[in-house]
Amino acid sequence: MQQVDGVADQTLLIVDDDAPLRNRLARAMESRGFVVSTAASVAEGLDAAGAAPAYAVVDLRLEDGNGLEVVEALRRVRPDIRIVMLTGYGNIAAAVVAVKSGAVDFLSKPADADQITAALIEEERPLPPPQDPMSADRVRWEHIQRVFEQCGRNVSETARRLKMHRRTLQRILNKHAPRN
């Protein structure tokens, strides 16, 4: 746990628009010793950022915007905050953006309280080699998704940068991600 004047600062902000998940996670984290506050939107998360919590769990996609706005605000208020991003839309491109914005970890839903706690309090975890690495098709799909996001979700610009036909790219984007 982080220290404030020699006392462990266990304040935690949970920002998620899914009320049952947010409340269940809040109870689970309180039972693990955290002092929890919650927010249901980007606006509430930005307001709660002023309290400068030591830890935060932020959903990537919220009804009124993007959770990355909350991450950036929290990081400005408290540079040493440990933030975990949660999302039901996990992909490598989103994880990279979240970490660059200041999150220490990126977990796909459903993530349990033990996984979240470990991500929040572990300073450095050695990364074991993947048990089941992504297939080449999945790596290609993730790369296309990353470039698509970087181009502001503009299909024509993405196709130009990837040097592929726009219609081919549209067909790829309309398909689900390949299995690992």
Q: What are phi and psi of 34, to 5 degrees?
A: -85, 150
The CB density around residue 37, as the number of other CB atoms within 10 Å, is: 16
- Hey, which residues does 87 pair with through a beta bridge? 108
Phi-psi region of 44 (alpha: psi -120 to 50; beta: other; left: phi over 0): alpha
Output the average pLDDT for the chain: 83
pLDDT, residue 3, reads 42
Question: pLDDT tens, 7-29?
Answer: 468 899 999 988 888 899 999 99
Q: What is the sign of the dihedral through the CA atoms of 100, 101, 107 and 110?
A: negative
Q: How many CA atoms lie within 13 A of 149 on its CB side?
A: 14
Least confident of 29-43, 91-105, 153-167: 91-105
pLDDT, residue 68, reads 86
What would be the CATH architecture of the domain defined by 2-121? Answer: 3-Layer(aba) Sandwich (3.40)
The ranges of the chain annotated as CATH 1.10.10 are: 136-174
Q: Are 77 and 50 in contact (CB under 8 A)?
A: yes
pLDDT for residue 125 is more than 60: no
pLDDT, residue 157, reads 94
pLDDT, residue 180, reads 59
pLDDT, residue 4, reads 39
- Mean of pLDDT values over 31-54: 90
Spatial CA neighbour of 104 closest among 92, 90, 86, 91: 86
Question: pLDDT tens, 57-93?
Answer: 998 888 888 888 898 899 899 988 899 988 876 667 7
Contacting residues for 144 by C-beta, under 8 A, at least 6 apart = 158, 162, 169, 172, 173
- CATH number assigned to the domain covering 136-174: 1.10.10
Per-residue confidence band for 127, with pLDDT thresholds at 50, 70 and 90: low
Q: Where are the beta strands (DSSP E) in the chain?
A: 2-4, 7-9, 11-15, 35-39, 55-59, 61-62, 65-66, 82-87, 105-108
Pairing of strands 35-39, 11-15: parallel
The ranges of the chain annotated as CATH 3.40.50.2300 are: 2-121
pLDDT, residue 102, reads 80
